Structure 1
Amino acid sequence: MIADRLIAHRGCALLRPENTLEAMRVTADLGVPWVEIDANLLGDGTAIMFHDDYLDRLTNGSGPLAACNWQDVATLDVGSHFSTEYSAERIPRLDDAVALIDELRLGLNLEIKLYPHYAVADILPPVVAVLEKSWSRFDNLIISSFSTEALRALRALQPDWQLGQLWERIPADWAMLAEELGLVSIHCDYRYLDVATIAAIKAAGLDLYCYTVNDPTAGQVLLKAGVDGLITDNPLLFNLQD
C-alpha cells in the first residue's frame, strides 16, 4: 500500500474549510498521514488548490475560475462558508499548498480537476511545474484524475510518477486501462463497489482507495473486504485499532 488507511479528503473537510492551508495543518496536527487535495486552474494559468469550477459555493466571490486571474481571487474569503472563525482563509496557490504539505511531511493524493473550460494542455504544465519545484518525496505522491486523457498525457511527460485513476463506477475495462496507464491505484465511489471487484483489483497488484467514506461501519466493512484506504472528510470518525 502506497498511501494510508485514512486519507483526509480536501484536508478534513468536515473539520476545517476544504482545500485551505488551515485544513492541511489540522490534518498534520491530528496525525493523519495522507491528505487529498484538488489542483485547479484560473484563466490566467495560475494553478490553485480549489475543487469547484465556480467561486460561488466556497467563497464570497462569484463566477467561473476561467474568467479570473490571480489578482481577482487572492483576497477572497474561502473560510466563512464553513465558519466565520476561518474568515481569514484565502484560496491557496497550488505551489504554496504543495510546499506546505511537503514541509508537514504528509503524503499527498493530488487530484487534477479538468472542467470543460480547459484542455489537458492547459492544466498539466503548471501542475507538473509546481510538483517539480515544490515536492520532494515522490514515493509519497499519487496523482489522480477522473480524466484518463490527463493521466495518459502525464504518463508520457513523467514515466516514473505514481498515477491513480478516479472513477465513480469502475468500468469493465479497468484492468486494460490500468496496464496502459501504468497505474498504481484505482480510486472509486465506495457505494458502487462490490467484493468481487475489490478482489480482482487487489489480485492485479493495485492499491484501491474509496471516496468519500464518512460512515465508520461502512469503512470497517470496506477495509475488511480488502480496500486499502478510505478518503474521508473526518478521520476522527474511525478507530482502526478495533
Structure 2
Amino acid sequence: MPRLHINSERLQADFETISRIGLTETGGISRLALSREDLEARAWFADQIETAGLLIHDDDAGNLSGILRSDNPQARTLLVGSHLDTVPNAGRYDGVLGVLAGLECLRTIKESDLDLPVHLEVMDFTDDEGAWQPMFGSMSLTGKLPKDLLNSADPAKSAFRAALRRAGIQPDDVRRAARDPRALAGYVEMHVEQGSRLESAATTIGVVTAIVGRTSYQLRFLGQAGHSGTASMSLRRDALQGAC
C-alpha cells in the first residue's frame, strides 16, 4: 500500500473557513447544537462532502456523514469523526479536528484510488456537547438513547423536540438511527488534547488507552430545623454539614 500524504493546505483552509461560523467578539466559537450557527456549519460540511465526491448521508438522529465505499458490498464500515457543535465560546479544534481530519483522510484516499477492505464513513454527531442532550447523536447511533428522553413532558424536553423538528429531524424516528454493531469495523476519532500531558512531554500525538467515565447521582440529605441562637451544637442536624 502506498504511503499517502494529506493536503495540509486544504485542511488548514477548512479550519479557517469553519472557524468563522459562530465566531464571537472575544475570539471564541459558539455553535450550540441545532442553533443557526450549528446548522450553517452542517450545511458547509455537507457541501464539502459533495465536492469531494463522497456519498452523503444523514440518519434519523441528524448525524451527518460522508461515505467512501469499498468495492466489496459486504464490507463492514469503519467510522471516523466527532462533532461540529460547541459549548459557548469554545476553542477552534474541540470536535472539529476529528471531523475535518476524517474528511481530509477520505478525500486523500479517494484521490489515490485505493482498494478498500472496509467502507469509510466520516461523521458529525448531533449535539455531542449537550446544548439539549449530551452525546445525543452517538447515543442514538449505538442504541443507548434513554427510552423516555423524547417522550417527557418536561418543558426543556418539549423545547428539544421543537428544535429537532426545526432542523428537519423527527423525534419519533430518532431510534431508527441505531446501527447494527456487526456491520461496523470500529470507530476512530482524532481529538485535540484538552489537558497538558502531551505538551509537558513535548510529544505531538498520543493513543488513548482509557478514558474517564461520567456518572451523575442524586442524593438527598435531610436535616432538622433549630433556633440559630439557642439550639446547642450537639443537637443540631445540619443537612449541609452532613453532605460535607
Instruction: Give the TM-score, by structure 2 length.
Output: 0.23
TM-score normalized by the length of structure 1: 0.23
Greater Rg by CA: 2
